[in-house]
Structure 1
Amino acid sequence: MSPSPLRTVLVGAGGIADAVHMPSIHEIGPEELIVDSVVEIDDARRTAFAARWGIPHHTASLDEALGRRPDLVILCTPPSLHREQVIACLEAGVTVWCEKPPALSLADYDAMTAGERDDGPWAPIVFQQRYGSGARHARELLVSGALGRPLLAHCQTTWFRGDDYFAQPWRGSFSGDGGLIMALGIHQIDLMLMLLGDWEEISAQVARRLRDIETDDIATAWVRFADGTLATIANSAVSPAQTSRIRLDTEKATVELSHLYGYDNDDWRYTPAPDASAELAASWANPLPNERSTHTPQLRRLVADLHAGRRPEASGEDGRRALELVTALYKSALTGETVARGSIRPGDPFYSALNGGIGIRAEHA
């Protein structure tokens, strides 16, 4: 017998819920999951959202929705609310899929996920870039050794966000969205970590050159991975020619991905080393059906994991990796130190705040 569809609560009825999550839910279909309730504090928005999507129940209270004993909560609220809301879901015994940024500090994330259990509930993070079929194929080639050892990498998120974007008071602040790297760059950073594994140390610089915000609007870093691979990171909120890019140079090939907000199989390019045979290069072709890096493939995998009773990817320590790297990036940039993985612990000011309480000086002309 097929398992019953997961009864789901959607928390937050803003743009990401309307334009991204509900279409993904409908694409997967009511045989897999059904939105039973939407939680939203704005009465008019909540009522309109429920009517538009045919959701039978709506409320301003997360506790009330949890009282209906759902199977899954999808959290589409600002990151400053994630800690309290994730804790409430886990305490109610409900798995919660949380939009990025996962949290605004390692302390918040650790408090959130303390309620996870090996057999559930869990709190996976929305990191959809790692779920496209192109990334899964590239990861398989790297793990199998088909591309040889990784040597050098580049991770780039150079986007453009104008003053209108930052007019929302919670954007561009360490207490609101965490700023440029947390709100924009974390997806490509998570993808890089999915492809290359554990990092070892990071050295970074950040600056505020153009926007009148609390956080940086440009950032660069270099990272050493545990296997010796060196990587660079470039993030920007002020780049007119926008791109999201991953480049990996291995012993046998250069692997390149260029896109903006999502990729297909055709966006990945493999350039063989001069001494690589044509037969070897041909063996790198992606046999997987194209699956774009939207929320849908991650949600589909999450539903399968919940039906099977297994821990989803991007939960627990796996969901923490990108946040730890971003935190270490800020610590390095604001202290001038090279920061080692695992070194930011309770008692360190950067454990409880992304910027460790240190302001970023504006560098306007």
Structure 2
Amino acid sequence: MSQRKYRAAIIGTGAIAHAHAKAVLGSGRASLVAVADVDAGRASEFAATYDVPRSHASAEELLRAEELNFVHLCTPPKLHAPLALACLEAGVTALVEKPPTLSLAEFDTLIEAERRSNAHVATVLQHRFGAGALRLRRLADAGELGRPLLATSLTQWYRDGDYYAMPWRGTWESEGGGPTMGHGIHQFDLLFSVLGPWREVTAVAARRSRDVDTEDVSMALVTFESGAVATIVNSVVSPRQTSQLRFDYEHATVEVDHLYGYTDDDWTMTPAPGHEKVAALWAEGHTDVPSGHPGWLTAVLDALDQGQAPPVTTSDARRTMEFIAALYASSFTGERVRSGQITAGSPFALSMEGTGAPWEKVRNK
């Protein structure tokens, strides 16, 4: 039986849009029929680069003119929620770059709109779908690794003043947060996809170096429903850049050390004494295919073929968004925050800044 062929479009033709276009064109299962950008010249140039038939000057024009199955939203974060809502109203599935919204309340608005639509919203968190992550979840789910005990997630990147010269970066109003929202989310979302529901978090966030409104570093201690504990570090002030995950199970330690994407060669498995067989299980199916948008899009298309919501679903992404809100709440109030504690009326549901960043309070005295 032949696979279904999908019609896709991209809204926002900045840097990340190129990864999306290449994934669509390389899939063999979807065609890129249109793009849109408020910068009409950039949209036209992008369309010419990827042989896209049509470009539009606005998202509204694109949704009105095109017959689509899904749209990739590659705009600055402030526009994600309104554009995803417009897609749902048009009956078009929205594939939204991270962070999907600026706040938990905005995300819950998307969930409600999705329930009223025949379309879906999925967040682009592509590192869940690399071969190493798939293998780790498979072995963990099968019990081969024993109980999860301890984990670490490190996103230590470097972003200088030129990076923050973009006016929407480093602000609560346009980006929603600092490295916790826009950088570390990839690593700790992958952590959550492996370890499952988190239970409580104690955290700190600080502005140590960058001239921004948001934090430039954050750290969290997290307890999971399984009893496992984890540390999570997010930074944009670290000259030696790295993205690291480590999982200590009863039977093995599993680690990955990369930067913006990994292959199987970036992962290591260290079995505990007496459990050497797990190393052989880990070595099965070794591949040199990198993690990235192509693997994620394959999972999206597979789900759509089955009539299912594409990954990362709203229920999955909400767990990650709630954690971000809880990290900020713990950091700014000095309190431990439990899962489910940030309800609709909480300031940290309405904005990740919540009651206000401590450094802003000092500045305003």
- Range into which the TM-score falls when normalised by the shorter chain: over 0.9
Offset at 1:207?
Answer: 0.8
Match of 1:59 in 2: 56
d(CA) in 1 for partners of 2:184, 2:296: 19
Aligned positions of 1:105-144 closer than 5 A? 105-117=103-115, 120-144=118-142
One-letter code aligned to 1:82:
H
Q: 2:44 aligns with which of 42, 47, 53?
A: 47
Answer yes or no: is the 8 Å Cα contact 1:37–1:58 preserved in 2. Answer: yes
Instruction: Give the RMSD, CA atoms, in angstroms.
Output: 1.7
Offset at 1:118?
Answer: 9.3
d(CA) in 1 for partners of 2:83, 2:117: 20
d(CA) in 2 for partners of 1:55, 1:147: 46
**Partner-residue secondary structure (3-state), 1:324:** helix
Answer yes or no: is the 8 Å Cα contact 2:123–2:313 preserved in 1. Answer: yes
Compute the TM-score of the two structures, normalised by the length of structure 1.
0.95
Aligned sequence identity (%):
43
**Partner-residue secondary structure (3-state), 2:154:** strand
Aligned positions of 1:1-365 closer than 5 A? 1-18=1-18, 20-29=19-28, 32-67=29-64, 68-117=66-115, 120-177=118-175, 178-276=177-275, 278-287=276-285, 289-361=287-359
**Partner-residue secondary structure (3-state), 2:122:** coil
Runs of 5+ consecutive residues of structure 2 not aligned to the other structure: none
One-letter code aligned to 1:129:
H
One-letter code aligned to 2:322:
E
Offset at 1:252?
Answer: 0.9
**Partner-residue secondary structure (3-state), 1:356:** coil
d(CA) in 2 for partners of 1:78, 1:187: 17
One-letter code aligned to 2:273:
P
Runs of 5+ consecutive residues of structure 1 not aligned to the other structure: none
Offset at 1:288?
Answer: 5.4
Offset at 1:82?
Answer: 0.9
Offset at 1:310?
Answer: 0.9
Offset at 1:359?
Answer: 2.2
**Partner-residue secondary structure (3-state), 1:327:** helix
Tell me the alpha carbon deviations over residues 108-138 of structure 1, each in whole angstroms, 9 at most, x when there is no partner.
1111222224994110000001000100000
d(CA) in 1 for partners of 2:60, 2:117: 23
Answer yes or no: is the 8 Å Cα contact 2:71–2:93 preserved in 1. Answer: yes
Offset at 1:330?
Answer: 0.4
d(CA) in 2 for partners of 1:297, 1:224: 30
Answer yes or no: is the 8 Å Cα contact 1:119–1:309 preserved in 2. Answer: no
One-letter code aligned to 1:254:
T
Answer yes or no: is the 8 Å Cα contact 1:192–1:246 preserved in 2. Answer: yes
d(CA) in 1 for partners of 2:43, 2:199: 45
d(CA) in 2 for partners of 1:358, 1:94: 36
d(CA) in 2 for partners of 1:57, 1:27: 19
d(CA) in 2 for partners of 1:38, 1:169: 23
Answer yes or no: is the 8 Å Cα contact 1:94–1:121 preserved in 2. Answer: yes
d(CA) in 1 for partners of 2:260, 2:129: 13
Offset at 1:52?
Answer: 1.7
d(CA) in 1 for partners of 2:170, 2:339: 26
Tell me the alpha carbon deviations over residues 293-313 of structure 1, each in whole angstroms, 9 at most, x when there is no partner.
101111111112112211222
**Partner-residue secondary structure (3-state), 1:154:** strand
One-letter code aligned to 2:16:
I
d(CA) in 1 for partners of 2:224, 2:68: 40
Going from structure 1 to structure 2, the CA distance change for 1:117 and 1:232 (only over 3 Å counts) comes to same
